[in-house]
A and B are shown apart, each in its own frame.
Chain A
Amino acid sequence: MNLFDMNLENVQAAVLVGNLCGVEGQPELESLFFGTPPTLDRDGTTYAMLIILCLGIAFRLAQIIRLPMPDPSDGAVLREVKLRTWWTLYMIDRWSSAGLAVPQQLSDGDQFHHLPMSELKFWHLKPDDSESDGNYLSESHGLWGYMVMLARIFGHIQILHKFLADGALNDMEAEQRTRDLAHELERFIDLLPLDVHFSVENLRNHAALGLGRAFVALHLGYHHYATLLYFPYLDHQQRETPNRAMYSSRCKHHAVQFSDILRLSHEIKECEALYFIVGHMTVVSSAALIHTLLFGQQEELPQTRSRLCDNFAILLKLREYWPAVELMVSVPLISLRKGIADRHIYRLRDSSHFKKSVCGL
């Protein structure tokens, strides 16, 4: 098998290998968190470069073979696999462009494609089933369809954060953009069918169908993106703007929701979130919780402390599986220690390091 053959399998392989580089290698995470230049490994190249390389190959291969356009001879399964592989690239693009500081490769303009069909329907397709547009006509999508919708909003949140980091927006402009994205998140929730909203009952129902972990992933993603959107408003030293207090409390609300869903996912069978990126998202949730611990009201403290412990326990669990989580665990601890010593870690506007660690991969 040659990696440079132009076929779907190589796109999938490049995604998987890119994933492996991301979770095995620590150098690039170090550079993300500490802003140091990537160190060279034995072979004179860096894991970060390998990820960029693999993903670059994946994106280009996908474009060359015209993913996700089906061939006339494609059956229903292949057609959906192409679609899902393409949306996977879109998701990876949104996540990795911030983490690796490379521009987004796939534009939102590419979004005329169908969203993935319901997972249950997909799993029941047989390889020789013929393709049918009927699979894509229904209003309800698969869980991955909803994840893609969120990834689109996430892409916009990152662009906003980049503007903020560059100092390209004044307070009012920043608030306006935050408000627009907040509306997008609200619209997303309004569109979500009732049986996909988060509740313990829905979680158990999805778990019974073998979709518990994907259901958890969707909702962890939602609360993570929302926490990120409002995160800059935690900054006490920011000038007062009309919605600062509201956005700040929303940030904490979503961080709390994230933590509660994460804990619950580890208590219900077949639901636990154990994939790599959960580590990063948990750190962001913890950062907002630490803010409450440092600056919150007395009555908020016991619950906040207990949520932080839950987050931390899950980070330790994740670290067992994913070596790169190590840095995610140590950085917040250092920040917390520093934060208690001098309460200045939340000068986000001046702290590009912290912004990077929050907005990054």
Chain B
Amino acid sequence: MRVAKACSNCRAAKRRCTTAEIDSQQCLQCLQRNQSCSLAAITNLKKDDQPVSIVPRASAPSDEEPREISLVDMQTREHLVNLYLQLIHDKPHTLFHPPTLRAQVHEDTVPRVILFSIMSLAARYSSHLSRSLLKANGKPDFQMIRPPDRELRSFLLVQRIHSR
């Protein structure tokens, strides 16, 4: 079992996903079809292993909302919020009206601390769906895989709180 590296379009279409070079922002298949490619979001995230690139540093000088969040594109945000709603929300806690939360994420009106927390809770699952898509024979696969964007989960929220 491999970590899924295909982009979401190719995964959905169950086709081979290839890139011209490592860390390409777009796969050849999407390029050909002129589609927006999810690899862009992943490579953006991976460029810098420091999670601080997406959230303000603990020593961020001002209260203004972090501009860095724009690095996590809307597609990824919505993907993670959906994972959160599916796998966590309504299980150990129930805090939101799901349609309202989805709409607020889409309109970008969710308070940052809530959006960050949700994304960091959900990021651990983000390779899971592709894994279950890859799972052909229906047998559970317990092989160890490090979710590719696991670094997302250390959004340094804790430090954010600290710095208050």
Contact = CB atoms under 8 A, between A and B. Distances in A.
A214 B90 contact: yes
B29 interface: no
B61 to A, nearest CB: 16
Interface in A289-348: 313, 316-317, 320-322
Given A127-B100, A317-B140, A317-B142, A17 B113 contact: yes
A213 B87 contact: yes
A17 B87 contact: no
A80 B121 CA distance: 23
Interface stretch (B15-23, B32-40, B73-81, B151-159): B151-159
Given A12-B114, A213-B90, A274-B87, A88 B95 contact: yes
Ranked 5 nearest A-B pairs via Cβ: A16-B117, A88-B93, A321-B124, A217-B91, A84-B94
Given A91-B93, A122-B97, A123-B99, 20 more contacts: A1-B111, A1-B113, A16-B95, A16-B114, A16-B118, A17-B117, A19-B92, A19-B93, A20-B157, A20-B158, A88-B93, A88-B94, A91-B92, A127-B100, A211-B90, A214-B90, A217-B90, A266-B140, A267-B138, A277-B92
Contact of A320 (B91, B145, B161): B145
Contacts of A15: 93, 95
B148 interface: no
Most buried by B among A12, A45, A116, A267: A12
A160 interface: no
B87 A81 contact: no
Interface of A: 1-4, 9, 12-13, 15-17, 19-21, 23-24, 43, 45, 47, 50, 54, 77, 80-81, 84-85, 87-88, 91-92, 95, 116, 119, 122-123, 125, 127, 143-144, 211, 213-214, 217, 266-267, 270, 273-277, 313, 316-317, 320-322
Nearest to A91: B93
B158 A275 contact: no
A9 B154 contact: no
A23 to B, nearest CB: 8
Given A20-B157, A127-B100, A266-B140, A9 B91 contact: no
